Amino acid sequence: MAKGASGLPGFRDFYPEEFAVRAHILNAWREVARRFGFVEYDGPPLEPLDLYTKKSGDEIVGQLYNFTDKGDREVALRPEMTPTFARMVAAKANALRKPVRWFSIPQLFRYERQQKGRLREHFQLNVDIVGETDVAADAELVAVAVECMRAFGLGPQDVRARVSDRRLLAAILDAIGVSAVQQPGVFAVIDKLDRQPNDVSAAKLGDLGLPMAAVEQVLALRELNDADRLRALLGTDGSVTPHIDRMELYLAHARALGVGDWIDLDLTVVRGLAYYTGIVFELFDVKGEFRAICGGGRYDSLLGQLGGVDLPALGFGMGDVVLGELLNARGLAPSTSPTLDVWVAFENEGDLAKAMRVATEQRRAGKSVEYALRPMQLGKQLKCATSAGARVAIILRSEGSAVKKDLATGAEEPFTLPNG
């Protein structure tokens, strides 16, 4: 790159140290998804623009990297994976085994203002289940997200899964006299209860036409943080009871899956995207230093809207930017110091070919191996070995023998050279 040149704002260069963190995150994601029986898929990074405007409206164009291609097609770099996922599932809906359990790790692009935890590109784990309405699928989904946290060395003292259910919340709002017309606006206020003063929230609820009694009940939703309290207050309302039952069953399933102690019932978690239809959740660090680590939920109507197939579905997305920041802050990022299994050194300048044969044998045995690509003094070779993070050096002596040297302790032992 020319002197003074720099990359685009919001995009990252992954030097080996940064790439090690990225690889650590993506490898853990893949391993957890595999253990839960999910299979990986991918789609093109460039899609027709209307794939996204169909889902989010024309206003999303301002957040996209979009252009007209050489075939006069309106296209965009993918800002999310769900529309591509919906298209792919719809194309083979009848042939796919249900429930569909797919995951992907796409690189996504959004032309947004940079801020802590948000760049203009990122990698994201997408996990989706299609074709299952039972609440056990919702519990399975949150368990995948939580097990990802566990894979990084985080615990419930570090990260909490805040869970709600849009159907339960809508039933509660209906019970306290909030009309169906008012509910979308009330949802938007509830979604910001933790991020704006109470008086601001109260004023917005009043502007929506809610009487003061209903305003106070909406503001008190944050106190309804367990199923027992919900049942004590609303259990006699027949329209609310089935939703409390479902939430209790969900929490019981989560306990059976070993993640119950990570979960908090929090009715203020709405998820801003209007297509969610049921249980939703977000993962946050306990200290509140970062943006949401992960978010998702049930979206039973979206595949019909995007792909024309009427199948229930649920999923979540987990980005690498916030997660990487959290792991660094908690001292859980992987070591980025260089590591090498073996360095092959040689005393005689003419033994380069012999060093290559030894290196080849070691590499075929699965070890990472380097050697000096041109003759140099043995002491300098061993310095290079240490710099490369090698644990062991195989030293080819001038008289034809060889030793294996532990570079940490200095201990040596004879080494048998390969034939030839």
Amino acid sitting at position 225:
N
Q: Are residues 18 and 87 in the same domain?
A: yes
Q: Which domain holds residue 113?
A: 12-133+300-335
Mean pLDDT, consecutive 10-residue stretches, the chain (420 aa), reads 72 92 96 98 96 84 94 96 93 94 98 86 98 97 98 97 93 89 89 86 92 89 83 80 94 97 92 82 94 94 87 96 95 87 96 96 97 95 96 95 96 88
Q: What pLDDT is stored for residue 390 in this prediction?
A: 96
Q: What pLDDT is stored for residue 3 in this prediction?
A: 56
Task: Give per-residue burial for 383-416: e unless 16+ CB within 10 Å, then b.
Answer: ebbeeebbebbbbbeeeeebeebebeeeeeeebe
Q: Are residues 109 and 32 in the same domain?
A: yes
Residue 180: count other Cβ atoms within 10 Å of its Cβ.
Answer: 9
Q: What pLDDT is stored for residue 135 in this prediction?
A: 98
Domain end point (choices 285, 310, 335):
335
Q: What is the Cα Rg of the chain in Å?
A: 28
Q: Are residues 50 and 86 in the same domain?
A: yes
Q: What pLDDT is stored for residue 272 in this prediction?
A: 64
DSSP state of 79: S
Domain end point (choices 335, 351, 379):
335
Q: What pLDDT is stored for residue 336 in this prediction?
A: 77
CA 110 to chain centre: 16
Query: Could you tell me the CA-to-CA distances from 212 to 65, 137, 267 in Å, in that order?
Result: 45, 38, 20
Q: Are residues 21 and 107 in the same domain?
A: yes
- CB 126 within 8 Å of CB 38: no
Residue 275: count other Cβ atoms within 10 Å of its Cβ.
Answer: 17
Q: Are residues 127 and 70 in the same domain?
A: yes
- CB 263 within 8 Å of CB 248: no
Say whether the peptide bond before residue 99 is cis (omega within 30 degrees of 0). Answer: yes
Q: Is residue 396 part of a domain?
A: yes
Task: Give per-residue burial for 320-352: e unless 16+ CB within 10 Å, then b.
Answer: bbbbbbbbeebeebeeeeeebbbbbbbeeeebb
Q: What pLDDT is stored for residue 1 in this prediction?
A: 43
* Burial class of residue 73 in the structure, from the number of CB atoms within 10 Å of its CB (0-12 exposed, 13-18 middle, 19+ buried): exposed
